[in-house]
Chain A
């Protein structure tokens, strides 16, 4: 009824190929942005920022990054945790070595360093595919974690191998360190996420994204029609690692404040983000958000309901929570193998015809 193309006339190619061609979609998008930037910062407190929003925003960035590689370019990667660690340690070294430069640029440079490392580990993708590539990226995961544990230079020779984020400000407002307000943390991550999501969405709509998808769908055919596999795969690894590096930098500097590589960026992080991408929907930016929301927010919600409201013992609640989340993942993937994004797509198709489906 409200959600329809009819009556929404486009008079230029520009209008016709915009991101949200349907008026209702466009309004909804602006509404979400308005709430995220204008309403939530007014009401956010420490608990909501640190337990809900900041992890959700950061995992969304990481999921978008991985979705570009796995969902759009079809290159399976199990090295996400390792690449996040590169971002975290890069931003730590930059923050401590150049305290006068703004943290905003440090985060971007950390993303750039991660992109370089990602390209390096992406090189084998030119020769190997599928599961074999997954194993090569798994090697990256273990190598990077080992490296950051082994070489004291990366953690500035601290006694325990921990890295601690020093206090840094943007326009005089603390964004890292203990004095950071909930609003500042939230806004910094939100701005980063918005930039990343807009770039990712537009990259995947343009030439670069079409090349990635061509390689994903059939690499030989893509090569025959003139897509260069070298540059395409390398750009996919670079862009993906850039985003994951930003996520890792924020994860350490803004969210945790202190990290040790094995615990914060271990193999389970790689799997967690891969699950976000698969549950959310491969090859969909919205799917990255949905997957991150599902795996970050649901456990917190269940914990609050089971322990806070129902008053269950914490260990029982923790075990039941694992079972519920696991069960839901199975149910979702049986009901809709293409992830939450596909459910959303189907819902939109239905809405277009509603209430007269014939």
Chain B
């Protein structure tokens, strides 16, 4: 029932199909680009909303601490600083583990939220669903508690059978804490919010960094 094949019609049909399909996709890409970006933004906004007390405006900035760059959001309420939401990424068991960590200006963790992870379902993936594990970050005060898992002598309750994920999570929180520490208490004021700040703020990251265990 299909047409006899010859070189001309084969080439013509293939070319036509490819052109048509690319055109359709190009159009669809242009149409869906805005909603896709909006979805990504909404996800970030939702995460910030979860990890910080009520605020009415945020500003996006980037900080560099210890050679790593961290996007963060400064949240204000009526002009007063309510806290920082820092995106912090470490390496878990299955790949990157990305967190949004909300920290109030006094350096206490307000809450955390998992942005993306590739941990094992049923094991490490619980870092995004296990109520007990997630609850311990609310109000975690890094000045009185140690941000490593109990197995390593710290105060973090690890997820059962997922020490590597729990360590990565604690490290990500620690990184965010260090970022805020550097922002709140810059060694040389005014230079922490840009990438030039590298050298100065390194000094503020001192004790109990589990990456050097």
> Are A and B subunits of one complex?
no
